[in-house]
Amino acid sequence: MDDDTRSYVVVLNDEEQYSIWPADRDLPLGWRSGDVSGSQAECLAHINEAWTDMRPLSLRRAAR
């Protein structure tokens, strides 16, 4: 059973790769807020819907 009650924020790096980060901590260098926050499950559900192409941004641009 998941008893993690912390709040998280969805974060993205310059390559538009997603992760989650504890909301009460400063963001790590190279990451920005994706403006979605909530429980771990809510953040991961958002990432699952939003991150449809796992390739880094630079690779997606080169493939055009």
User: Model's pTM, two decimal places?
Assistant: 0.85
Rounded Cα–Cα distance for residues 27 and 47 (Å): 17
If you average pLDDT over residues 24-29, what whole number do you get?
A: 96
Rounded Cα–Cα distance for residues 36 and 51 (Å): 13
Q: Does the pLDDT at position 2 exceed 70?
A: no
If you average pLDDT over residues 29-57, what whole number do you get?
A: 95
The pLDDT assigned to 3 comes to 73
The pLDDT assigned to 34 comes to 93
- Give me the percent of the chain exceeding a pLDDT of 70: 97
Residue 3 resides in a domain = no
Residue 40 resides in a domain = yes
* CB within 8 Å of 51: residues ≥ 6 apart: 17, 18
Rounded Cα–Cα distance for residues 24 and 46 (Å): 19
Which structural domain range is residue 20 located in?
Answer: 8-54
Domains identified in the chain, total number: 1
